[in-house]
Structure 1
Amino acid sequence: MLSDLVGAMATYGLLDRAEQIARTITNPYHLGRALGDLAAIMANSGQLDRAQQLAEHAERAAHTITDPYDRARELSDLVTTFAECGLLDRAERIARTITLPDRQAHALSKLAAAMLKCGRLDRAQQLAEHAERAAHTITDPDRQTRALGDLAATMVKCGQLDRAEHIAHHAEQAARTITDPDEHAWVLSDLVTTFAKCGLLDRAEHVTRTITSPYHPDGALNDLATAFAECGNPDRADNAPAPSPTPTIEHAL
């Protein structure tokens, strides 16, 4: 695939040749991705003017994608790419054009984290609030749960612990509206991992103790125990909920 070739050539410093190949790609999804990755490499190498030109081209290509979800996903990925390489204003402008709320919430949350790393706390908080508004409009409970969980973690990084707890509570509520028991258990387990890794340990432990399905993954429980141990609570690590035994075929029947 040409987009992979562009990435490989850029990684080895063949930037001019990589750009030439990228501009021959006709599929707008692959074109946007190739140019976005190339813009990030240019930005990281100090070629900011050239990076901005490529980023603009990548954005135009993404907006020509006809499938709404593919377009939103590509724009969201561009936001993450540009935020991580310091093209923050470009990333924010793109994020505000995303029309699907789950992808916009994801993009804004990533951008808020990038702003935080640059010391722009006020801007990070504003973007996180925008992401929260977008997340609350998501109708699919699985996607809403994941969006709110990720946002709660971002709020922790912004130092807004009360707000993080509030959002985490809403994430848990959204998860409980999932009717399929196995999907419900998996989504709650993912929340445990998200909360444990960002320091919301009480919330993570509470969610863990409400998972009743014997099929839920043990990784979340291990993440919680590890988080307790790393923050100096070995007793709580030892008392963390134990992984459920894997059901046998006889039990499943």
Structure 2
Amino acid sequence: MQIQTVRLHDEDAKIIYQETAGLAIITIHRPQAKNALTAKMWRELESLASQSLQNPKNKVLILRGAGENFSAGSDIKEFHAMSLEQAEQAFIEMERTISTVENLPLPVIGVINGPAMGAGLELALACDIRIGSDKAKMGIPVGKLGITLNNRFAKRLVDLVGPSATKDFVFTGRMYKAEEAFHAGMLNYLVAEKDLTKFMIRMGKLVAGMSPDSLLAVKKSVQQCTESTPALWQGATPFVSQNDFAEGVRAFVEKRQPQFKRPQS
């Protein structure tokens, strides 16, 4: 087994990369921040996902979070020190990482043992198959942050749960618990936490035993079936609101309710 640990800030902030028996396994490890990813961590995650292709023995990529979290998404406190332009660029880089995982020419299995929130949810949805434990929670509570859910972010949710449920996620900030997420199609499998690692490895080996050509072909075919016309991406919605983002992030850091103002018409 090959194990590579990339430390990004301190002893508790790292991304662990492993290779074993045809499986590449990436573990996000930042327990003190619910596995929230900084801009540097997003870039490193993209690099490690691409690295999984370098070993021809790798047949499947497994993506998981350490402990009882998948990922709380991006580090909101980091945004507090950014300008709007810097924050928008950070989201663009984040989307590039998520798209890299989504378009990887390997099957990607996401393992959700706890909350997958915001961009963490988007990262989970970019996986081809998602295995959840009974502690899984999934939501995208961006309404209090002035994050405007770019078209690509929205599409991943719409493809799985439909337009109305997608709007409900943002309008109300609701979160699906494990059973709700499973029945909504956001989780493909739901297993007890104690069985999660064993099931993850068994599923990874099962998929790895299939024809690589068949797996890649169906991945491309499904993507083509769900792709929208290029017009959807013309004039795409920005990721951050010019009016509300700064106040939303400030309120998050100050642990208070945001005071948004309706824009003048």
Give the TM-score normalised by the residue count of structure 2.
0.29
Structure showing greater Rg: 1
Query: Which gives a bigger RCO, structure 1 or 2 (Cα 8 Å, sep 6+)?
Result: 2
Higher strand share: 2
Give the TM-score normalised by the residue count of structure 1.
0.30
